[in-house]
Structure 1
Amino acid sequence: MPTFKDKTVIVTGAASGFGQTTAHTFAEAGARVVVADIDADGAARVAKELERAVAVRTDVSDEQSVRAMVDTAVREFGGIDVLVNNAGVPHRSMPMLDLPVEDADRMWAVNVRSVFLCCKYAVPVMRERPDSSVVNVASIGALRPRPGMTVYNASKGAVLTLTRGLAAELAPNVRVNAVNPVVAETGFVQGAQGVDRIPDDVRAAMVAGIPMGRTATVQDVADSIRYLASPEAGFLTGVCLDVDGGRSIQ
């Protein structure tokens, strides 16, 4: 396993789902973790589960909140080595023309504005550390959009463009990559479906287009994030890694 001993990692949206498992995965590799989430209680719970971690309530769509998150990382741990922009929200699955404007605006603020803000304020600190990197969480839907999630998929397409453009701007000092997960059975997906538990027929339809025959697990995604942030991926920047069980080749 790649080591992150004495490295500091910020994970946004770390109170649940991909973010929670990613925080655990970096901690298990020796990192100090800033557990950032708008859910303060959830962030505190996750931080208590880790050996060296601090929780910070963060609204990633708000400039001052993001600056406070970065300041916390510097104050508590002396700097930032890895930034994982994981925080995101879906909209309910529906035709684009039926989507309320306020839902679209909120989703773009959390999914896209957040990446801009977090990088704007974290990267100047990260430039002081060798081998620092940003990993953004996009979606395979950015490349293979499906009906019902058009605006969400477009927001993740913007994340891919931000990833590639920023990778070119920051090389060779800071690497910038992204992961494109396929559907995973998390609260995020349940929110998009509007249910507490994904029905069997909906799950079967999700899996039907995935050659590996299952949805992604949170650990699949966390392991891919850890790899892209690791020294083993030291020559990779601008990479948008499909963590999709082969859905993108169907």
Structure 2
Amino acid sequence: MSHAIADLFSLHGRTAVVTGASSGLGARFALVLASAGASVFAAARRLERLKDLADADPRIHPAVCDVSREEDRVRLMETALDETGRVDVLVNNAGMSGAVRAEDESADDFADVLAVNLVAPFHLARLLAEAPARDRGRTTRSIVNVSSVLGLVSGAPLGGAAYAASKAGLVGLTRELAGQWGPSGVRVNSLAPGWFRSEMTDELFSDERSRRWVERGTMLGRGGEQGELDGALLYLASDASSYCTGHVLTVDGGWTAR
């Protein structure tokens, strides 16, 4: 029985693509999927960091990619398909934050954030859906769109208009693509983390006042720690969630449950 349960979470023989993989949550996601047996194409702009990641696990393949560029997105997916013949898992993790105050954010700035956080995930998801499927039956391809609690509730005085709009848009995109592509065996779900330490949130946790704000608003009284998204990600990526699509899995210590 234990072997059968472990098989539910296995990604042996699968190929995964993870964007924004050069640091923080993305780097961790790549390592988690590789440890589950997947060949992982870790995509980001910073090659040296990707090489360090590949040194940690030979199943990780560095892939230089600026997700804001259409040609880079196409090349990323083509590379994974050419080298392994398949793409089974896509983790749309790359993102940018933008300005916190709406009055400090121009229309062009707003559009730039959406280009990275929403347009790029849509295009990459479409590229996966259009690729030929290698397996039939229960095994399906899985897209995990990394949203945020700020796509579900206001984070004021922190957050940002473009960032919140892009993450809320990812939730809507997740549900719509799940509905359209479910019959063809492509599952689309969203992972919505709460407050986790990363390059993007380093100032938040370094400042005592904002750190206490996080602690007060979280039922567990703290921010998320490294590794506490591992299980949720692996669940959505693997056959353990084979009957789950169009879902937003929130991992936030109770932030949005208040």
What is the TM-score when the length of structure 2 is the normalising length?
Answer: 0.90
Q: Structure 2 residue aligned with 1:104, among 84, 88, 110?
A: 110
Tell me the residue number matched to 2:198. 186
- The alignment status of 1:201 with 2:201, answered yes or no, reads no
Structure 2 CA distance for aligned equivalents of residues 107 and 222 of structure 1: 26
**Amino acid paired to 2:153:** R
Tell me the residue number matched to 2:188. 176
Percent identity for Structure 1 against Structure 2? 31
Structure 2 CA distance for aligned equivalents of residues 74 and 66 of structure 1: 13
Tell me the residue number matched to 2:173. 162
Cα pair 1:8 1:33 within 8 Å, conserved:
yes
Structure 2 CA distance for aligned equivalents of residues 102 and 198 of structure 1: 30
Cα pair 1:17 1:218 within 8 Å, conserved:
no
- The alignment status of 1:117 with 2:126, answered yes or no, reads no
Which string of whole-angstrom CA distances, capped at 9 and with x for unpartnered residues, describes residues 107-155 of structure 1? 1111011111111212222634442110000001111112242321111
Cα pair 2:114 2:166 within 8 Å, conserved:
yes
**Amino acid paired to 1:19:** G
**Amino acid paired to 2:240:** E
Structure 2 CA distance for aligned equivalents of residues 44 and 68 of structure 1: 19
**Against the structure 1 CA distance between its residues 144 and 229, is the aligned structure 2 distance closer, same or farther, given a 3 Å change threshold?**
same
Cα pair 1:12 1:36 within 8 Å, conserved:
yes
Three-state SS of the structure 2 residue aligned to 1:219 is: coil
Three-state SS of the structure 2 residue aligned to 1:23 is: helix
Structure 1 CA distance for aligned equivalents of residues 164 and 99 of structure 2: 12
Cα pair 2:86 2:133 within 8 Å, conserved:
no
Cα pair 1:136 1:179 within 8 Å, conserved:
yes
Cα pair 1:18 1:219 within 8 Å, conserved:
no
Structure 2 CA distance for aligned equivalents of residues 188 and 126 of structure 1: 36
* Structure 1: gaps spanning 5 or more residues: none
Q: Which runs of 4+ in 1 moved over 6 A?
A: none
**Amino acid paired to 1:227:** Y
Cα pair 1:131 1:234 within 8 Å, conserved:
yes
Structure 2 CA distance for aligned equivalents of residues 214 and 235 of structure 1: 32
Q: Structure 1 residue aligned with 2:27, among 15, 20, 25?
A: 20
Q: Which region of structure 1 is more displaced relative to structure 2, 18-27 or 34-43?
A: 34-43
Three-state SS of the structure 1 residue aligned to 2:201 is: helix
Tell me the residue number matched to 1:68. 75
Tell me the residue number matched to 1:153. 164
Q: Structure 1 residue aligned with 2:231, among 223, 230, 250?
A: 223
- The alignment status of 1:135 with 2:107, answered yes or no, reads no
**Amino acid paired to 2:145:** N
Which string of whole-angstrom CA distances, capped at 9 and with x for unpartnered residues, describes residues 192-238 of structure 1? x4x7x621221111121000111123422232111111111110000
Count the aligned residue pairs: 245
Shift, 1:15, TM fit? 0.8
Structure 1 CA distance for aligned equivalents of residues 56 and 220 of structure 2: 32
**Amino acid paired to 2:61:** V
* Structure 2: gaps spanning 5 or more residues: 1-5
What is the TM-score when the length of structure 1 is the normalising length?
Answer: 0.92
